[in-house]
Amino acid sequence: MAGSGGGLLEPDAVLAQLEQRFLKTGHPRDLTVVHALGIGDGKGSGLGRFAHAGMVRRVIGGHWSWAPAMQRMAQDEAFEAYSFPAGVISTLLREIGAGRPGLITHVGLRTFVDPRIDGGKINRRAAEELVELIELEGREYLRYKPFKVDFAIVRGSSADESGNVTLRREPADLDVYAAALAAHNSGGRVIVQVKERAPGGYVPARLVRIPGILVDTLVATPTQVQCVVSDYDASLSGEALSAVGDGFYETPGGIRHIIAARAAKELQAGQSANFGFGIPGGIPAILAKQGRLGSFWGSVEQGIHNGAMLDGPMFGTARNADAILSSVDQFDFYSGGGVDVTFLGMGEMDGTGNINVSKLGATVVGPGGFIDITQGARKIVFCGSFEAKGLQIEQVGASVNIVAPGSVPKLVERVQHISFSGEQARRVGQEVLYVTERAVFRLDATGVRLIEVAQGIDIEREVLARMAFRPLMDEALLSQARAG
């Protein structure tokens, strides 16, 4: 399946009919479901349509948070659950469609998808090895193995009499072509949901994203809307410009504002930057308020470049974008080193510099594009609160005060899931920062170093005593800590 959160390219009318057929007849069943990005509204649409006992045998997912029922089923061992980087899944579909021997890439080395760790398996029922470690010319790579695709279920805007499909009114292209190619060239079938057959029966050739040769079934759905916030907005699909000023952005508040504002200082003029979901999604609003829009080139994994980037459920879209690429092309850009600096979220962090965003407690979240992006970027700025669950802070002038500590520590002795490998970052020479509301850390050759503490914060009591590891510190901070 292709799609993303916020209803982007979500072929939910088709998925809803599959769900109803299963509930009435018990078929189709024992499916393998593959998706790169999160698909659904969190209330049962998208991937959630498959959350029924017996309907699914295996899921290979990049991001799971938009389908909480599937998350619970994976936790309960209801099916074989795997999670791969979103870009790996999208580009693997392309490789399958091209008849190549899987995807060979550096993406995933020393993370939970590396077969030396978990091989992408995220519950006990997942037993088959779907990825292997190989060596080429003395360098390590991962090979994600190809598989046969029987059906691709994707969405477009409209189609002509020859079955040519355009995405002209969609906010993103994602990996719909790669999914369709993989199914067609595997001898499978391609089902495309569209809003309408093209007026006049013609889609201009330059606007075709899925040629009719790949299309087996068209499902016209007149009620199809562009996304959850708009039936149709031409500035989201890149067909027209709208009047969008700095006031369009909703500036984050509280902890999120403190972290985003500090992280934004790491962005330099002229850089290629990527912004991730969560706290980093608020950074463009900070930059807009500072008058810095246009001083850098921003992008997100859905293939959107520049523009007024949206946050929250519509993360991955923008009004007045400069360019909209397929996510397959976008992930190639990231994997090859096209980003100078990326700003990404942070679930857990440990003393070796590892980060976990993909499995929190028993909940499968999946990395989305996190691994693809971090393993290609020159500089990484992780953004996250120091603690979770109950943390309350207040900012008075330049000072940060901890009103109530969080009950769940995030700076732990060892992360539960390795979504980012500090060891791998050291091997390839990446610059890595970890920004919280009270302290900033840097990845050094021998460990994690505390380099900055917010004004008003007691280093020993509110930083060091609430960490499960002892960071490296410069003499000035050591003296401050001793002084209490």
Q: Tell me whether residue 239 is one of the annotated catalytic residues.
A: no
Q: How far is CA 323 from CA 210, 268, 292, 300, 329, in A?
A: 19, 21, 19, 11, 12
- Residue for token pair 């993989």: 182
Q: The tokens of 263 are what? A: 């992280």
The residues that bridge with 55 in the sheet, in sequence order, are none
Q: Which residues contact 71 (CB under 8 A, 6 or more apart)?
A: 64, 65, 363, 364, 365
Maximum pairwise Cα distance, the chain: 78
The alpha carbon torsion through 57, 60, 62, 65 (nearest 10 deg) reads: 10
Residue 22 phi, psi (nearest 5)? -65, -45
Q: What is the DSSP letter of 269?
A: T
Q: The tokens of 266 are what? A: 């790491």
Which residue out of 10, 95, 170, 301 is catalytically annotated? Answer: 301
Element (H, E) at 373: helix 370-374
The residues that bridge with 218 in the sheet, in sequence order, are 192
The residues that bridge with 196 in the sheet, in sequence order, are 158
Q: What is the DSSP letter of 74?
A: H
Q: What is the DSSP letter of 62?
A: S
Q: The tokens of 126 are what? A: 């997942």
Rounded to 5°, angle at Cα 374 from 102 and 275: 115
Instruction: Measure the CA–CA gap between 13 and 34, rounded to whole angstroms.
Output: 18
Instruction: Measure the CA–CA gap between 131 and 271, rounded to whole angstroms.
Output: 34
Instruction: Measure the CA–CA gap between 234 and 231, rounded to whole angstroms.
Output: 10
The full DSSP string for 453-483 is E-TT--IIIIIGGG-SSPPEE-HHHHHHHHH
Instruction: Measure the CA–CA gap between 150 and 160, rounded to whole angstroms.
Output: 24
Q: Which amino acid is at 73?
A: M
Instruction: Measure the CA–CA gap between 269 and 296, rounded to whole angstroms.
Output: 5
**Cα–chain-centroid distance for residue 410?**
20
Query: Other C-beta atoms within 10 Å of 187: how many?
Result: 9
Q: The tokens of 202 are what? A: 């013609």
Query: Other C-beta atoms within 10 Å of 398: how many?
Result: 8
Instruction: Measure the CA–CA gap between 297 and 172, rounded to whole angstroms.
Output: 18
Active site residues: 301
